[in-house]
């Protein structure tokens, strides 16, 4: 057993004091801190927040040598216990690292606990101490001999589990409910006094019940305790999934308050986030990509399948709000519409496949810059549209082995495998659920002779490894949802993203192949005037824009004035279109029936 101890050392300096005890260490014992946290695909080099390490056996100090940015080696003598201690600076307000101030503390194991090389599979005990008066510990980490404050010993079966159980410290709002035999705690830090916790609990419970039933029917899920940790801030959004908990951030204005109606859009977004992270309890934490089994904590772990683990989860998060009637069909279609337009406005979708975008998540999606829209596509949004495409395609097929096919059945078939999966497994599951797909779906005619799993593999390859356009207009229309093309806003038609700044609208991004690119607009340019008319904000563009006329565009770049020319004739950017979806007013009987089955409306 490896023993870790973490103490609140100095709330004003944001310091945790951590120590590690290793019985019978190796002669040259290596220890290391992860460089990333599973679920967030960026090398974050958590070791940069550590103080110099100290090591001793009994009273004897032991020499430490640092091997690389996150690994140390300690020369030990004999088998007496090795103790290592260090401080961790914790002032990261996100869900991905560690935080400590006078009001609350939070940490992920990946930011604070060392991995003892060769001993990763041993049980890992954790003692949490030094808590300010009144503070309590909240975590799904099993308690070995907990006291009321939770400062007793916690026990993880191995390092992976230790790394996967975040801990919240402080005096947050706390509520709980039991659902299908599982104790669900909800911890909310930073909420206003009139926060309506009962509403949040009741709505969350509906989501949990529906998702447990989705994966397990009437049976119990493979965990007995789950903790939602929500940190409420003035302005923020985000979440990170774990096998028995999730850490969330939301904006204060999005919380339900007693005696007021819940903020419609913001609260729906929060419920969508809760639904998303809870769905990950299965999809990615247990149903895992092969590439993550096991995790390598020292470097990037590449997978081409984030479109499945993040994209399909994104499809199901809002689906569960719909299925539990937390939103109606019109709202659901509006959310879908937003996703569709986000993908539409991304020129990168025409050059980067979802597989490539997944593989490059570490260097592209997680390191966004002004060129990101041209240099990748979001595996969240486009992955959700692939899930939608497959779901609607499956729903058009006849019943197979007594069950009408849909994506639910595919997810459930994958779950039944009980092991890490790859693309081939998804194709197999599709074939199992639906049999032979129409040849045209794979984009060529020569596959009718292929076995069902091969035919599905080709279809899947087309949606995820090429940039082929998804056939969503036809699929949505056959499910009673009307698709209308319309022009985007003027900056969008030009192919620029503008942000209103003090001097006027400023160019934030220029879309690849757009008119704006041809006219010579660059990121950072301030748009000053169109012909002789002053532009004060992005909306002024529409005021002074003359369709069919050549116009001068006066800009400021690095303190110099330049005049660019918008010609009389130009073609709007490909990313300058947008779509309006509507639940069709009078669909055919077949469409209405399909829509009823899909949207319940
Ligand atoms: Zn996710």
Does 255 have pLDDT greater than 80?
yes
Q: Of 231-245, 431-445, 459-473, 496-510, where does mean pLDDT reach its minimum?
A: 431-445
Residue-wise pLDDT for 15-40, tens only, equals: 999 999 999 999 999 999 999 999 99
Tell me, in angstroms, the distance from the centre of ligand 1 to residue 237's CA. Answer: 13
Buried b (16+ CB within 10 A) or exposed e, 292-304: beebebbeebebb
Q: What's residue 563's pLDDT?
A: 98
Q: Of 111-120, 435-444, 487-496, 580-589, where does mean pLDDT reach its minimum?
A: 435-444
DSSP readout, 110-161? Answer: HHHPPEETT-TTS-EEEEEE-PPTT-EEE-SSPBSS--TTS-SEEEESSHHH
Tell me, in angstroms, the distance from the centre of ligand 1 to residue 367's CA. Answer: 17
The mean per-residue pLDDT over the stretch 366-375 comes to: 96
Distance CA(237)–CA(242), nearest Å, equals 17
For residue 578, give Cα distances in angstroms to 182, 373, 538, 582, 584.
44, 16, 18, 13, 18
Tell me, in angstroms, the distance from the centre of ligand 1 to residue 595's CA. Answer: 27
Tokens of 591: 């469409």
Does 149 have pLDDT greater than 70?
no
Residue-wise pLDDT for 160-173, tens only, equals: 999 999 999 999 99
Tell me, in angstroms, the distance from the centre of ligand 1 to residue 71's CA. Answer: 29
Largest CA distance in the chain: 85
Q: What's residue 301's pLDDT?
A: 97
Tell me, in angstroms, the distance from the centre of ligand 1 to residue 340's CA. Answer: 18
Tell me, in angstroms, the distance from the centre of ligand 1 to residue 212's CA. Answer: 18
The mean per-residue pLDDT over the stretch 566-586 comes to: 91
Residues in the chain: 601
Tell me, in angstroms, the distance from the centre of ligand 1 to residue 488's CA. Answer: 29
For residue 350, give Cα distances in angstroms to 95, 362, 519, 572.
32, 20, 22, 16
The model's confidence at residue 445, banded by pLDDT at 50, 70 and 90, is low
Q: Which residue has the tokens 């599709």?
A: 430
Tell me, in angstroms, the distance from the centre of ligand 1 to residue 307's CA. Answer: 10
Contacts of 264 (CB under 8 A, 6+ apart): none
Tell me, in angstroms, the distance from the centre of ligand 1 to residue 240's CA. Answer: 7
Distance of CA 303 to the CA centre of its chain: 15
Tell me, in angstroms, the distance from the centre of ligand 1 to residue 42's CA. Answer: 14
Residue-wise pLDDT for 37-52, tens only, equals: 999 999 999 999 999 9
Tell me, in angstroms, the distance from the centre of ligand 1 to residue 174's CA. Answer: 24
Does 482 have pLDDT greater than 90?
yes
Distance CA(582)–CA(476), nearest Å, equals 10
Q: Are 475 and 393 in contact (CB under 8 A)?
A: yes
Tell me, in angstroms, the distance from the centre of ligand 1 to residue 322's CA. Answer: 19
Residue 188: closest CA among 128, 138, 133, 253 = 138
Q: What's residue 449's pLDDT?
A: 65
Tell me, in angstroms, the distance from the centre of ligand 1 to residue 379's CA. Answer: 10
For residue 542, give Cα distances in angstroms to 23, 196, 591.
71, 42, 39
Tell me, in angstroms, the distance from the centre of ligand 1 to residue 185's CA. Answer: 20
Tell me, in angstroms, the distance from the centre of ligand 1 to residue 287's CA. Answer: 13
Tell me, in angstroms, the distance from the centre of ligand 1 to residue 310's CA. Answer: 5
Tell me, in angstroms, the distance from the centre of ligand 1 to residue 280's CA. Answer: 7
Tokens of 312: 């399909």
Tell me, in angstroms, the distance from the centre of ligand 1 to residue 358's CA. Answer: 13
Tell me, in angstroms, the distance from the centre of ligand 1 to residue 285's CA. Answer: 10
Does 448 have pLDDT greater than 70?
no
Tell me, in angstroms, the distance from the centre of ligand 1 to residue 404's CA. Answer: 28
Tell me, in angstroms, the distance from the centre of ligand 1 to residue 239's CA. Answer: 8
The model's confidence at residue 56, banded by pLDDT at 50, 70 and 90, is very high
Tell me, in angstroms, the distance from the centre of ligand 1 to residue 276's CA. Answer: 6
Buried b (16+ CB within 10 A) or exposed e, 265-286: ebbbbbbbbbbbbbbbbbbbbb
Tokens of 349: 């979708």
The model's confidence at residue 503, banded by pLDDT at 50, 70 and 90, is confident
Distance of CA 397 to the CA centre of its chain: 31
For residue 199, give Cα distances in angstroms to 171, 204, 318.
20, 8, 18
| Residue 258 CA neighbour count, 13 Å, CB half | 8
DSSP readout, 334-400? Answer: HHHHHHHHHHHT-GGGGT--HHHHHHGGGTTTTS--TTHHHH---TTHHHHHHHHHHHHHHHHSPPB
Residue-wise pLDDT for 279-334, tens only, equals: 999 999 999 999 999 999 999 999 999 999 999 999 999 999 999 999 999 999 99
**Percentage with pLDDT > 90 across the chain:** 92
Does 269 have pLDDT greater than 60?
yes
pTM: 0.96
Distance CA(228)–CA(269), nearest Å, equals 16
Q: What's residue 152's pLDDT?
A: 75
Does 262 have pLDDT greater than 90?
no
The mean per-residue pLDDT over the stretch 535-550 comes to: 95
Residue-wise pLDDT for 385-400, tens only, equals: 999 999 999 999 999 9
Tell me, in angstroms, the distance from the centre of ligand 1 to residue 148's CA. Answer: 33
Tell me, in angstroms, the distance from the centre of ligand 1 to residue 165's CA. Answer: 17
Tell me, in angstroms, the distance from the centre of ligand 1 to residue 466's CA. Answer: 23
Tell me, in angstroms, the distance from the centre of ligand 1 to residue 557's CA. Answer: 39
Tell me, in angstroms, the distance from the centre of ligand 1 to residue 300's CA. Answer: 17
Distance CA(220)–CA(213), nearest Å, equals 9
Tell me, in angstroms, the distance from the centre of ligand 1 to residue 241's CA. Answer: 7
Q: What's residue 442's pLDDT?
A: 84
Tell me, in angstroms, the distance from the centre of ligand 1 to residue 368's CA. Answer: 17
Question: In whole numbers, what is the pLDDT of the chain averaged over residues?
Answer: 95
Tell me, in angstroms, the distance from the centre of ligand 1 to residue 275's CA. Answer: 10
Tell me, in angstroms, the distance from the centre of ligand 1 to residue 269's CA. Answer: 14
Tell me, in angstroms, the distance from the centre of ligand 1 to residue 430's CA. Answer: 23
| Burial grade of 37 (CB within 10 A; 0-12, 13-18, 19 or more) | buried
Residue-wise pLDDT for 354-363, tens only, equals: 999 999 999 9
The DSSP code for 426 is H
If one counts every other C-beta atom within 10 angstroms of the C-beta of residue 168, the result is 25
Tell me, in angstroms, the distance from the centre of ligand 1 to residue 246's CA. Answer: 11
Tell me, in angstroms, the distance from the centre of ligand 1 to residue 592's CA. Answer: 32
Q: Of 278-282, 439-443, 593-597, where does mean pLDDT reach its minimum?
A: 439-443
Tell me, in angstroms, the distance from the centre of ligand 1 to residue 313's CA. Answer: 6
């Amino acid at each position: 057993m490896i023993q870790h101890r973490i103490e609140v050392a100095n709330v004003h300096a944001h310091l945790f004091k951590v120590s590690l005890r290793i019985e019978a260490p190796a002669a040259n014992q290596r220890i290391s801190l992860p460089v990333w946290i599973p679920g967030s695909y960026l090398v974050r080099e958590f070791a940069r927040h550590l103080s110099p390490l100290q090591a001793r056996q009994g009273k004897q100090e032991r020499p430490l040598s640092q091997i690389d940015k996150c690994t140390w080696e300690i020369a030990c003598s004999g088998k007496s216990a090795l103790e290592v201690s260090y401080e961790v600076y914790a002032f990261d307000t996100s869900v991905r690292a560690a935080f400590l101030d006078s009001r609350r503390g939070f940490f992920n194991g990946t930011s604070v606990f060392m991995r003892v090389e060769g001993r990763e599979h041993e049980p890992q005990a954790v003692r949490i101490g030094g808590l300010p008066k009144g503070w309590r510990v909240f975590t799904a980490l099993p308690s070995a001999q907990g006291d009321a404050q939770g400062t007793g010993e916690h026990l993880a079966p191995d390092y992976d589990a230790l790394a996967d159980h975040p801990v919240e410290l402080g005096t947050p709002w706390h509520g709980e409910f039991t659902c299908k035999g599982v104790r669900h705690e909800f911890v909310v830090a930073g909420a206003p006094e009139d926060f309506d916790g009962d509403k949040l609990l009741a709505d969350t419970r509906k989501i949990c019940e529906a998702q447990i039933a989705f994966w397990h029917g009437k049976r119990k899920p493979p965990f007995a305790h789950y903790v939602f940790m929500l940190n409420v801030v003035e302005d923020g959004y985000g979440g990170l999934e774990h096998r028995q908990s999730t850490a969330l951030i939301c904006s204060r204005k999005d919380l339900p308050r007693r005696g007021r109606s819940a903020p419609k859009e913001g609260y729906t977004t929060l419920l969508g986030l809760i639904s998303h992270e809870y769905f990950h309890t299965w999809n990615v934490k247990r149903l895992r990509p092969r590439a993550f089994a096991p995790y390598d904590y020292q470097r990037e772990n590449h997978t081409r399948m984030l479109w499945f683990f993040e994209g399909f989860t994104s499809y199901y998060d809002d689906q569960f709000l719909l299925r539990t009637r937390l939103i109606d069909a019109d709202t659901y279609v509006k959310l879908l519409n937003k996703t569709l337009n986000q993908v539409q406005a991304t020129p990168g979708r025409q050059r980067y496949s979802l597989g490539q975008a997944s593989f490059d998540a570490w260097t592209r999606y997680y390191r966004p810059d002004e060129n990101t829209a041209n240099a990748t596509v979001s595996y969240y949004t486009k992955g959700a549209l692939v899930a939608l495409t497959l779901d609607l395609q499956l729903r058009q097929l006849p019943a197979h082995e007594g069950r009408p096919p849909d994506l639910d059945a595919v997810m459930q078939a994958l779950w039944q495998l009980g092991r890490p999966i790859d693309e081939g497994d998804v194709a197999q599951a599709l074939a199992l659920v639906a049999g032979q797909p129409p040849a045209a779906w794979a984009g060529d005619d020569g596959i009718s002779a292929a076995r069902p799993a091969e035919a599905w593999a080709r279809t899947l390859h087309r949606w995820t490894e090429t940039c082929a356009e998804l056939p969503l207009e036809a699929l949505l229309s056959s499910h009673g949802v009307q698709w209308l093309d319309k022009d985007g806003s003027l900056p969008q038609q030009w192919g620029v993203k503008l942000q209103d700044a003090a001097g006027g609208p400023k160019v934030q991004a220029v879309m690849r192949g757009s008119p704006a690119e041809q006219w010579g607009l660059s990121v950072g340019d301030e748009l000053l005037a169109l012909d002789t008319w002053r532009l004060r904000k992005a909306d002024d563009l529409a005021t002074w824009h003359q369709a069919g006329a050549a116009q001068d565009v006066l800009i400021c770049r690095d303190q110099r004035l330049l005049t660019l020319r918008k010609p009389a004739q130009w073609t709007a950017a490909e990313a300058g279109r947008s779509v309006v979806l509507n639940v069709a007013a009078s669909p055919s009987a077949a469409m209405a029936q399909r829509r009823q089955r899909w949207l319940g409306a």
